[in-house]
Amino acid sequence: MTSGFIIGSILLVALYRYLPPPGTPLMLLRRVEGYGIHKSWTSFDHISTNLVRAVIASEDTRFCNHHGFDWNAIETAWDHYRSRHGRLLGASTISMQTAKNVFLWPGRDWVRKAFEAYFTVLIEIAWGKQRIMEVYLNVVEWGPGIYGAEVAARHYFQKPAAALTIGEAVRLAAVLPDPLNWSPLRPTRRVLARNAAIYSNMPAVVPRCPRPAG
């Protein structure tokens, strides 16, 4: 990486600590594919804690306890990779997904993974957990052309993100792995199974990560 890239990336991360990202590479890609871009930024305090808890329970149960990387999940994924002849399973944390969504292109190649790790370290240092979650919930894809919690809540349930019930939040969180093919309103058997797993994980999840001591 050149010094220009390092300086530029640090400045961009610092800027997004305070300002909403205007868009993401995935949004532009989907636009080329023929989807629209429907997004609306809303602050962390105006997103239901039900949704925060459901997303953590769905995507990254150790979110509050790691520093960007879940090494247990990474070790498990690596073991699968070696034993299944190159099949690469995901071990992405919410921090890693946020770094990928905001700064990088979709894909699973090693070059992109290296950049993802770099940006993950930066946002963990510069943003902290609440800002990472706030950005993630505002840029993540929830359906064709649907980005962020506010637009998703209004599109699927005709209400603001702040008013989502536990059931609605779980249904939204369950479709995150495949938002173009899964719908909170028309759950497949696999989505229903994810709903059950999220409900099971939620009691141990807090909506705000404790601030580090010191």
For the segment 79-119, what is each residue's pLDDT rounded down to a tens digit?
A: 555 566 555 545 689 999 999 999 998 877 888 889 999 99
Q: Which domain holds residue 114?
A: 23-204
Establish if 66 belongs to a structural domain.
Answer: yes
Domain count of the fold of the chain: 1
Q: What per-residue confidence (pLDDT) applies to 72? A: 66
Establish if 28 belongs to a structural domain.
Answer: yes
pLDDT along the chain (214 residues), means of 10: 88 97 95 94 97 97 88 56 55 92 87 92 96 98 97 98 98 97 96 97 91 59
Establish if 181 belongs to a structural domain.
Answer: yes
Establish if 91 belongs to a structural domain.
Answer: yes
Tell me the C-alpha distance between 138 and 48, whole Å: 13
Asked if 43 and 131 count as a contact pair (C-beta separation under 8 A), the reply is no
Q: What per-residue confidence (pLDDT) applies to 74? A: 58
Establish if 94 belongs to a structural domain.
Answer: yes
Establish if 171 belongs to a structural domain.
Answer: yes
Q: What per-residue confidence (pLDDT) applies to 169? A: 98
Strands (E), 92-209: 141-143, 146-147
What's the CATH code of the domain at 162?
1.10.3810.10
Establish if 149 belongs to a structural domain.
Answer: yes
Q: What per-residue confidence (pLDDT) applies to 16? A: 98
Q: What per-residue confidence (pLDDT) applies to 68? A: 83
Residue 200 corresponds to which tokens in the numbers above?
């099971």
> How many helices (H) and strands (E) would you count in the chain?
10, 3
How far apart are the two ends of the chain, measured CA to CA in Å? 33
38-39 and 146-147 beta bridge pairing: parallel
Q: What per-residue confidence (pLDDT) applies to 211? A: 74
